[in-house]
Copies of this chain bind each other. A is one copy, B any other.
Amino acid sequence: MSDIVRFKQHPSETLKVGKGFRLKDVDPDATPGYPGDKSDGELLLSDLDDNLTVFQEQLFAESRFGGTKRLLLILQAMDTAGKGGIVNHVMGTMNPQGVQLRSFKAPTDEEKSYDFLWRIEKEVPAAGMVGVFDRSHYEDVLIHRVHRWADPKELERRYQAINEFEARQTAAGTKIVKVMLHISPDEQKERLLARLDDPSKLWKYSSNDLKERAFWDDYMAAYQAAFDLTNSSAAPWHVVPANKKWYARIAVQQLLLDAMDGLKLEWPVPELDVALERDLVERS
């Protein structure tokens, strides 16, 4: 029985976007703050799952007694970066009743007829819930910037609107964790080829992925702009190196654990006479 290898420095510090942050300096192969290897990471992941389960149950329980805390994980990444695997894992550890996942695809005609935050507002987590956004309002300053579907003035309006929107959510009790999973173009190539080679993955392959891939540098510039303009102490960005899937998983798990820990959650104590209720149950 080997010992669990834990983070030396937490991703909430090492992966946080700070002043002067440059995306191009991040190595997608790196494993910042973690001294172990893949098998260590897998052990750590399953070791900490229960902690996340308990935190989430406490968060949900508090809301049944008037608590307003909630958590929102925002995931952004290039195709194949592993958002799906992260979502699977995170949500697999939680009570499904307390988690709400929303995958934001290309907007429908109805959604397009409103301001870009209209469809987002409808999906923010209720009190006690863990919300997971698989893509988000950031698409409106990423793909829209890359393909110039929005002009610079409109983009500027959106960055500001996002900041106001996120500040309002935070003020209402929402802890926001923003994550970009960062892979390299070569890693994406390998993963696209893997989809083509595996009959159980082939259906996920879209030749459209190749089209967006051609704009890689533009996307990186758009991400950099988003970090520069929407990073805040209330809703900080984290860039998670994701060429190693096992590292991305423990990093996001640890980010969520730290966020939950910061909420100072406790089991609610209902106002009831336990001895009396015990007696009533016994007699029933």
Identify the A interface with B (CB < 8 A).
54, 57, 61, 64-65, 84, 87-88, 91-93, 95-97, 99, 101, 103, 132, 134, 189, 192-193, 196, 199-200, 202-205, 207, 210, 213-214, 267-270, 272, 274, 277-278, 280-282, 284
Which one of B96, B101, B205, B272 lies within 8 Å of A87 (CB-CB)? B96
Contacts of A96 in B (CB 8 A): 87-88, 91-92, 96, 99, 101, 132
Instruction: Knowing A87-B97, A214-B284 are in contact, say whether A203-B268 is a contact too (CB < 8 A).
Output: yes
CB pair A203–B64 under 8 Å, yes or no, is yes
Q: How far is the CB of A242 from chain B (nearest CB, A)?
A: 19
- Across the interface, do A277 and B205 meet the contact criterion of CB distance under 8 Å? yes
B101 and A281 contact, CB distance less than 8 A:
no
Q: Could you say how many copies of this chain the assembly holds?
A: 2
Provide the bound-state CA to CA distance between A192 and B272, in Å. 14
18 additional contacts, CB 8 Å, given A84-B95, A210-B284?
A54-B200, A65-B203, A87-B96, A91-B91, A92-B92, A92-B96, A96-B96, A96-B101, A97-B134, A189-B281, A196-B277, A196-B281, A202-B267, A202-B274, A203-B269, A203-B270, A207-B272, A210-B277
Write out the residue numbers on chain B whose beta carbons fall within 8 Å of the beta carbon of A61: 203-204
With both chains docked as a complex, state the minimum distance between the C-beta of A63 and any C-beta of chain B, in angstroms.
10
Chain B residues near A84 (CB, 8 Å)?
95, 97
A91 proximity list for chain B (CB < 8 A): 91, 96
Please list 21 pairs of residues, one from A and one from B, whose beta carbons are closer than 8 Å in the complex, sorted by A's number.
Answer: A84-B95, A84-B97, A88-B96, A91-B96, A92-B93, A96-B101, A96-B132, A97-B103, A192-B281, A199-B267, A202-B269, A203-B267, A203-B268, A203-B270, A205-B272, A207-B272, A207-B277, A210-B277, A210-B281, A213-B284, A214-B284
Smallest CB separation, A86 vs chain B (Å) = 11
Known A203-B270, A270-B202, A281-B196; contact A101-B97, beta-carbon cutoff 8 A: yes
Give which listed residue, B65, B95, B270, B284, contacts A189 with CB less than 8 A: B284
For the complex formed, measure the closest distance between the CB of A247 and the CB atoms of chain B, giving whole angstroms. 22
Q: Give complex CA distance A205, B268 in Å.
A: 11
CA distance A175 to B178 in the complex (A): 38
